Amino acid sequence: MNIDQFVKFVQEQYKTTDFIPLHVPRFQGNEKKYVMETIDSTFVSSVGAYVDKFEQMIAEISRTEQAVAVVNGTAALQVALRLAGVKTGDEVLTQALTFVATANAIAYNHAHPVFLDVDLDTMGLSPKSVEIFLEEYGEIREDGCYNKKSGNRIAACLPMHTFGFPVHLNELVEVCNKWSIPVVEDAAESIGSTYHGKPTGSFGQFGIYSFNGNKIVTAGGGGAIVTDDKQLGDFAKHLTTTAKKPHKYEYVHDELGHNYRMPNLNAALICAQLEQLDSFIQSKRNLAVKYKAFFKEKGIKFRTENPDTKVNYWLMCVELNDRKERNQLLNETNEKGVMTRPIWKLMYKLPMYEHCFRDEQTNAEYLEDRIVNIPSSCNG
């Protein structure tokens, strides 16, 4: 591919020759109004009307019974796994091709990640890989599924919807149900994406979202836990607000809780952002159509959604022929002021996870050598 042609195309989409980042937030709605209302109310910390409003909005968007606001997506994952029953020494089935927060959340619960391969079409955890692993190592006992080789309980399955592309959820949930393993969806990147018409984050026992500054909608930080289990949702709220029992003046904490509360100030910002979610996603989908046409002419694969899915196109990406071609694109575009980025280094190549079990990782290593993210901000 002629890199200069790509750089020019991106500059035309964003109408600038200045540096073009991978993803930037857009504040063009009620953000300032809501934040100023919060300041005027003096309720800028973890209690306030916008926290409640945010939780209601996320429950509606995810079509779940309850949402709990937290400080970031990693905290949401940590608590969701704890509530799903993950304990010290347990194992959690997940993917190595992911952002480090997925694995970190498992480790924060003193559990062990088990890295299984991804599907090429979704870049997310493969139901077939999970099934193969469980057929070889799984054993159902009275209190759950165990790894026959390690002796550890397999406490959860944690798929991550890479760049907003849903994994094959029906198949994955079916496999996990067969082996009595709860699913916790890392939907940090996929708010607004759907699988067979249903929102990602709503298929497992829990789902989580992230609202970091580089996401489609942002609270500056922020995250949310969603679930259809009202009792567990209430407990999630309790745990993330220091496990303090309601009382007019006494400080009574009945669990080892977490101070993971989202401030009302941040909730005000994300409420205004969520009002624009549909238009943001449509803008990104329009850009994806243009990218697809551009790269088709160049003979390069632009990653698009599978049938029966609707993707938010949080980060768009191309698939190159090999690592050499990938590195050339990365080097030349960044030198020319257009930010591109490789997909993450596989988790088992990081020092803190190199000891973890992994399968052959054929697809994950293939994708690691070839996937490059390209500028994906809303451009309208």
pLDDT of residue 380: 63
Residues 32-70: b if buried by 16+ CB within 10 A, e if exposed = eebbebbeeeebbebebbbbebbbebbbebbebebbbbb
Q: Which two three-digit tokens encode residue 88?
A: 């010290």
Mean pLDDT of the 104-110 span: 98
Beta bridge partners of 144: 141
The CATH number of domain 31-274 is 3.40.190.10: no
pLDDT tens profile 168-208: 999 999 999 999 999 999 999 999 999 999 999 999 999 99
Give yes or no for residue 379 having a pLDDT over 90: no
Distance (Å, rounded) from C-alpha 283 to C-alpha 97?
27
Give yes or no for residue 107 having a pLDDT over 90: yes
Does the pTM surpass 0.75? The reply is yes
Average predicted confidence (pLDDT) for the chain: 97
Boundaries of CATH 3.90.1150.10 in the chain?
A: 3-25+277-374
Q: Which CATH number is 3-25+277-374's, of 3.30.43.10, 3.20.20.70, 3.90.1150.10, 3.40.50.10860?
A: 3.90.1150.10
Boundaries of CATH 3.40.640.10 in the chain?
A: 31-274
